[in-house]
Chain A
Amino acid sequence: MNEEKINLNLTESPEGTTGTGYEDANRISWLTENLLKDPLKVISGFGRLPMARLLLNIILINIVCLVGYGVIVGSFSGGIQWYMAPVKIIAGLMLAVLFCYPSFYIFSCLSGIDVKPGTAMLVLLAAVSVFSILIVGFAPIAWVFSQSTNTVFFIGFFHLLFWGTSTLFGMRVLLKAASSLKCKNTFYPLFWILIFMITSLQMMTALRPIVGTAETVLPKEKMFFMAHWSKLFSETVDTPKR
């Protein structure tokens, strides 16, 4: 793990970025590349870069990537799912972030990290961006599977696999950031990651169907994600693709 120590609470001074590797920081390509290559560089730049521009770029990256992946998810069923799947994926992830943000900030403080609420939100969004960038990388593979599979459970399993892998890498950014921010107790970030994963899984269940079709846009019956997946598993019937 990178042991570089970073300071999040610097005063904003965009003019102070010359010669520090942040000259192109306003560009989305710089942000995307560095979120993957060196997320700590992005996070340590929060104090030096123009916040509004950075936030806008992070949101744009998330929206573009999630729309891209959502369209692939929607291609399994077609029809209204072409646009409903991206909308639901974005809404589900953003709701999960909002529900989990208060505990994220409190847990950060409890683990000994000196962070302000706004910066905590940016760190969280940076981690979510890594997730979004990675998951859109899985889109071609997901498309191949969605074109050759008829079963909702089977394709759903693959999406879960891609979702889980991307989440682990996204959350690894949080752990790296926590380590660099002198986190005294890694139990809190690890426990929060578990909470976030459960919440985001539940949000995707609450907004179903994202894969497959249903009579209504939102579910009539409220279910916990474990119950939903075990029901899908027990049904295991071939579903018409289109």
Chain B
Amino acid sequence: MMRKPGNGFLFSCLAIAVICSSLYGMSVGIWRSPLQSVYVAMKFPMLILFVTAGNAMINGMFAKILGARMTFRESLMSVLMSFTIASIILASFAPLMLCLVWNSPAVSDPNSAMAHQGILLFNVFSIAFAGVVSNLHLYKLVLHFTGTAEVSRRIIFSWLAVNLLLGSQLSWIMRPFIGGPGGAVEFLREKAFDGNFFEAVFQSAKNLFF
């Protein structure tokens, strides 16, 4: 029988997610400048908290509609736990990111564009890996509530879809994270709310193929 998690557990998860994602954020931003590192250390936990809070209601509803005997609190806890696991994995990658930054040409170097691409690639890989592993763990947890693999898969898929939708747009608004060699060091872009993530992807695809 699973013990119901109390408020202490909720706050522990929150604290771990904030500290760990902050550590990773710090390592991501350090290549551009120490100030960028501080900004990203603040923005990464904010991104996770905003996505968790922003989707809490819809995630809870999806769980109920798709047939899980989960309370709103349980679905919120499950998603938060998955983000906590992802943050722990990301924090364990922080030394590797620092190693990569140390071995990459500096921002002032003529080859800095290549370094930027390398750091971006590692960042995408780290987040993708952490996301996959944390969702595999989340799947096991949801399976406990639903009892059937099919329903669990549907719930996980719906949660992933809405988290991706909000997460991608919030990360677009909260850019820059790594900070390009030519870009300014800033907490948010001057026109942070201009455009959206999917519009940018569409424009890039249009420029590339048409």
- Interface of B, secondary structure class, is helix
Inter-chain CA distance A103–B20, complex, in Å, is 13
CB distance from A233 to the nearest CB of B (A): 20
B98 lies within 8 A of chain A by Cβ: yes
Interface size on A, residues (CB 8 A): 21
Residues of B within 8 A of A195 (CB): 96
Using CB atoms, name the residue of chain A closest to B104.
A222
Interface 1/0 per residue, A84-102 and B, CB below 8 Å:
0000000000010011111
User: Known interface pairs A106-B88, A224-B118. Does A100 touch B103 (Cβ–Cβ under 8 Å)?
Assistant: no
Select one of A95, A102, A222, A224 contacting B92, CB under 8 A: A102
| Docked CA distance A113–B94 (Å) | 22
Residue A105 at the B interface, CB < 8 A? yes
Answer yes or no: A206 CB below 8 A from chain B CBs: yes
A202 in the interface, Cβ–Cβ < 8 Å? yes
Q: Does A110 contact B (CB under 8 A)?
A: yes
| B40 interface residue per 8 A CB criterion | no
CB of A106 within 8 A of CB of B96, answer: no
Q: Is B26 an interface residue (CB 8 A)?
A: no
B103 touches A103 (CB 8 A): no
Partner of B102, one of A101, A106, A206: A206
Q: Which residues of A contact B96 (CB under 8 A)?
A: 99-100, 103, 195, 199
A206 touches B103 (CB 8 A): yes
> Does B131 touch A at the CB level, under 8 Å?
no
Q: Which residue of the partner chain A has the closest CB to B91?
A: A102
Q: Which of B113-139 contact A (CB under 8 A)?
A: 115, 118, 133
Residues of B within 8 A of A102 (CB): 91-95
The contact size tier of chain B is: 10 to 19
Interface centre among A103, A105, A195, A221 (most CB of B within 10 A): A103
Residue of chain B at shortest CB distance from A191: B129
Does B105 sit at the interface, judged by CB under 8 A?
yes
| Residue in chain B with minimal CB distance to A203 | B99
Complex: A99 Cα to B122 Cα, angstroms: 15
Closest Cβ neighbor of B105 among chain A residues? A222
Which chain B residue lies CB-closest to A227?
A: B114
B103 touches A224 (CB 8 A): yes
- Please measure, in the bound complex, the distance between the C-alpha atom of A110 and the C-alpha atom of B135, giving whole angstroms: 12
* CB of B17 within 8 Å of the partner chain: no
Q: Enumerate chain A residues within 8 angstroms of B98, measured Cβ to Cβ.
A: 99
Asked whether any CB of chain A lies closer than 8 Å to the CB of B89, the reply is yes
Q: Bound complex: CA of A106 vs CA of B89, how far in Å?
A: 7
Contact B104 A199 (CB under 8 A): no
Contact with B along A178-199 (1 / 0, CB 8 A): 0000000000000000010001
Given the complex of chains A and B, what is the CA–CA distance between A222 and B92 in angstroms?
Answer: 24
Cβ of A110 and Cβ of B93 under 8 Å apart?
Answer: no
Interface centre among A105, A221, A224 (most CB of B within 10 A): A224
Near B by CB (< 8 A), chain A positions 53-109 give 95, 98-103, 105-107
- The residue of chain A having its C-beta at the shortest distance from the C-beta of B96 within the complex is A99
Measured CB to CB, the closest approach of chain A to B202, in angstroms, equals 32
Asked whether A110 and B133 contact (CB < 8 A) given A99-B96, A100-B96, A102-B91, the answer is yes
Least CB distance, B143 to chain A, in whole angstroms: 15
* Distance between Cα atoms of A222 and B106 in the complex (Å): 9
CB distance from B183 to the nearest CB of A (A): 21
- Whole-angstrom distance between the alpha carbons of A199 and B102 in the complex? 12
The answer to whether B93 and A103 have CB atoms under 8 Å apart is yes
Interface residues of B in 170-190 (CB under 8 A from A): none
Q: Give complex CA distance A100, B104 in Å.
A: 18
A-B contact pairs, 25 of them (CB 8 A): A99-B98, A100-B95, A100-B96, A102-B91, A102-B94, A102-B95, A103-B89, A103-B92, A103-B93, A103-B95, A103-B96, A105-B92, A106-B89, A106-B91, A107-B92, A110-B89, A110-B133, A199-B96, A199-B99, A202-B99, A206-B103, A222-B104, A223-B103, A224-B103, A224-B118
Given A106-B88, A106-B92, A222-B103, 7 more contacts at CB 8 Å?
Answer: A101-B95, A110-B133, A199-B99, A202-B103, A205-B103, A206-B102, A222-B105
Which 4 A-B pairs rank lowest in CB-CB distance, beginning with the nearest?
A106-B92, A103-B92, A102-B92, A99-B95
